[in-house]
Amino acid sequence: MAPTRILFVCMGNICRSPTAEAVMRLRVLEAGLEDEILVDSAGTGGWHVGGPPDPRSVAAGARHGLQVGGAARQVSARDFDDFDLVLACDADNVRALRRLARTDSHRAKVRLLREFDPESARGLDLDVPDPYFGEAGDGFDRVIDLVDAACVGLLAQLRAPR
């Protein structure tokens, strides 16, 4: 059976989506599912392509035992062929991804990441707030908390019998 492939997406692929990738990668590793679930991240914008994650994301990740790394890349229409789920960090990115998607089946792959957090799924605001314009403080740690809750729920859903 082919692995489930998940793409996390934010604006520039330097804060939220590489953090989500790192969180999910760790959760998958802890569950022993690294051959069954593959993760990556991208951004809807190309401003930071080739650059490293924001140092504040890397630092927050390190405080939580995460390795936030990689090089920023921009999402492409081909990603909809390569990934089973395309999980956006906020509603603006959902709209951008659905515009980029070429087919209804591709658009159906686009979801908000926090939909998978059972505690927030019923809420009105499912966005992971963008910490980029904030200070180095708790905004990045808050992103990790929100993303981790969603990744735990996502992993549980992926492991549930079908």
User: Which residues are designated catalytic?
Assistant: 10, 16, 130
Round the CA-based radius of gyration of the chain to a whole number and report it. 14
Structure tokens at 30: 């802890």
- 75, 127, 86, 157 alpha-carbon torsion, rounded to 10°: 160
In whole angstroms, give the CA distance from residue 54 to residue 14.
5
